[in-house]
Amino acid sequence: MWNQTIFDKYNLLYKIKSTSKSLASSLFHKLSDKNQLIIHNFITSEERLFYKKNEKFDSVFFELRTRCNSKCSFCAASIQNEIRPDITMKFDLFAKGIDYLSNENYDKRIAFHVNNDPLLVKNLHEYVAYARAKCPKAWIQILTNGKSLRNENGYNILKAGIDELSINIYEENRTEETPKNIINFEKDVLYKLYDKKNVLGGMPGVILKKKYPTYIKYTKARRLVDETLSNRAGSAPNKKSNKTKPNLGFCSHPFSQVNITTNGDVSQCCADFYFNNKMGNIKHNSLNEIWSGEKFTKLRENLNYSNRKENILCSNCDHFGINKLPNSFLKRQLYKLLFINDE
Ligand code: SF4
Ligand code: SF4
């Protein structure tokens, strides 16, 4: 009875929210291309400015294995949609990528997801331990759907030195119980290794590390397995036809991310699911060379000019183009209201 009431309440709120967003979004689509771009430029201006001042990537993602074990209908890595061969990155190649970062005294994010679940790599803790030893200042994040989290691998990655464990729990509806394996991990491992007051959520990782070096960031988010999000440059299985794609410009992904898949290829962004537009390969070039290479530079130049048309993936992509909500109240509200199709 109680569960049913919560379920009805969530569903009603969800419906109200998505209906008002759909309305606002369809109004936005009725504007001319020029006006859509003006609004988009306005909302994205803070991030554009930020990346003008910060020209170096702040997140390096290693896709250690091309597999996931969830059924998210919006994702080409889901069990029912996956067509990639199942490949795991060789440790030596991973070490090469980490060594580049180590030489730079890298102190930003290192993570193990692109379009995959990191916990499907059995010896993940060995990769983490290497990154920890070589990049002591980096923020090491594990983002997972939590399905393969067990006490043993959870313990191993914590001991190997991660700074953050974030779990996206994908569920059919918003009232499902927290999965037992996650509850067990919290009880038997997390809160045995860390006092509750040292387990923090919320704060951005890098800030947390500087302020509270002995703490761990741990978050759980509830997400729906069958949502319709951005079209991921055309790869989202549940959004193949996107005729009403809005006219968008700037996108911050190629200003902040380096995504590396199992054979060392670097893509233009995480939405390039099949690594079709390679920026380079870490077998042949350092991350710095790839980052400041002609292809990446040209892509960023075009996006800075709000031009997605030169790039086949960007021109087919409805990702809004910002990594975090704008600080300005007006921009934030506009973003929340108008754009329903994001990550
Ligand atoms: S969104 Fe994440 S959890 Fe879901 S199928 Fe894709 S990679 Fe897996
Ligand atoms: S617009 Fe889409 S494809 Fe282009 S860089 Fe952004 S996320 Fe990637």
Probe residue for ligand 1, chosen from 64, 67, 73, 78 as the CB with the greatest number of ligand atoms within 8 Å: 78
Question: Can you give the pLDDT at residue 2?
Answer: 46
Q: Which residue's CA lies nearest to atom 1 of ligand 2?
A: 314
pTM of the predicted model, to two decimals?
Answer: 0.91
The response to whether residue 229 sits with its C-beta less than 6 Å from ligand 2 reads: no
Relative to the alpha carbon of 252, which ligand is closest? 2
Encoded tokens for 242: 């996107």
The CA distance from 257 to 266, in Å, is: 10
Question: Can you give the pLDDT at residue 24?
Answer: 78
The response to whether residue 314 sits with its C-beta less than 6 Å from ligand 2 reads: yes
State pLDDT tens for residues 186-230: 999 999 999 988 898 876 666 666 666 678 999 999 999 998 889
The response to whether residue 120 sits with its C-beta less than 6 Å from ligand 2 reads: no
Q: Which residues line ligand 1 (CB under 6 A)?
A: 68, 70, 72, 75, 77-78, 115-117, 145, 170
Q: Which residue's CA lies nearest to atom 4 of ligand 1?
A: 72
CA angle (102, 128, 223) in 5-degree steps: 120
Q: Calculate how far, in angstroms, residue 70's C-alpha sits from the geometric centre of ligand 1.
A: 6
The answer for residues whose C-beta is within 8 angstroms of residue 13's C-beta and 6 or more apart is none
Q: pLDDT at residue 242 above 60? A: no
Q: Helix crossing, 2-30 with 329-338: angle to 10°?
A: 100
Question: Can you give the pLDDT at residue 197?
Answer: 86
Q: Which residue's CA lies nearest to atom 5 of ligand 1?
A: 78
Q: Give 22 or 138, the one with higher predicted confidence.
A: 138
3-state helix, strand, coil in the chain (%, to 5): 45, 15, 45
Q: Calculate how far, in angstroms, residue 100's C-alpha sits from the geometric centre of ligand 1.
A: 28
The CA distance from 41 to 37, in Å, is: 6
Question: Can you give the pLDDT at residue 245?
Answer: 79
Q: pLDDT at residue 83 above 50? A: yes
- Mean pLDDT of the 281-288 span: 97
Cβ–Cβ < 8 Å for 223, 170: yes
Q: pLDDT at residue 307 above 80? A: yes
